[in-house]
Structures are given as structure tokens and as C-alpha cells.
Amino acid sequence: MRCPFCFHSDSKVLDSRATEEGASIRRRRECTNCHRRFTTYERLDEIPFMVVKKDGRREPFNRNKILNGLLRACEKRPISLTEIEKVIDEIEKEIRNKMDREIHSAEIGEMVMERLKGLDEVAYVRFASVYRQFKDINSFLSELQELLKGD
């Protein structure tokens, strides 16, 4: 496994354990060159399912796209990476449990927003503002008012 810090190609495994759902194995590793530690996850290689984009294009599901969106939305918020990973794991599990091998990107966006709403309202509003592409301040205020009604 290549070190993400110095890119040395050799590391040693310090600890291995299954994740809560048992769907992957978490490994703590140490680089034999720079001695920094990092975590890797091993997952079962499954048949990919496709995401149908707004313009009709299809592309393989990529959990890193969800991770990147969540990291941007949760930036400078009191949300741990563990909580973000849990959200992504829940979404991926829900998607994989569907019988259909295709899912619309809008469905994934709604799943993310649903979970963010319960996790952190500021992160939810940040994600929603990009995802929903508010056209003006009134549509943004409308979303905020809906959020306030839920409290």
C-alpha cells in the first residue's frame, strides 16, 4: 500500500478489524519510510451500479463524490470524519439494497440532505444551496423557513 504522505510503496499493518456493518475491513498502517500512520479500508469488489445524471449520462457510482460534497458542506463544522463516513456508509448501504442497478443522482442528493439535516443544519444549508442551485435569495429563504418549521 502506497503511503499518502511520502508515496513510499511499502507499509506495515498495525491493526485490522471489521467495520460495524462487516462490509469492509479497516487497517491501520505505518509507512516503513516516513513512519507516519494512515488508515485503509478493504471492500468486497461488487458489481457496480450506475448513477443517472441530470443530463441523462450514466457513470459508475463513486462514493468519493459524496465524500467530497460532504467535506465541503461540513468544513469548519464540529463534525468528525467518522460521522461523515457513517453517513456515506448508510447511503451506500441503502443504494446497494435497492434491487435496481441504476439510481438517479437526484435520489442520492436527497439522501445526503436528509442525513445532513439531522447532523448539522449549517452543513445542510451549505449542501442544499449547491445541490438545489437556488436561483435567488427568495428561494434560499424559503428553504431556510422550511428548516425552521421542522424545529
Express each pLDDT in 35-72 by its tens digit: 999 999 887 766 778 999 999 999 999 999 999 999 99
113 with 127: CB under 8 angstroms? yes
Predicted model pTM = 0.66
The pLDDT score that the predictor gives to residue 29 is 96
Q: Answer whether 93's CB lies under 8 Å from 106's CB.
A: no
Which range scores top for mean pLDDT: 12-21, 45-54, 77-86, 130-139? 77-86
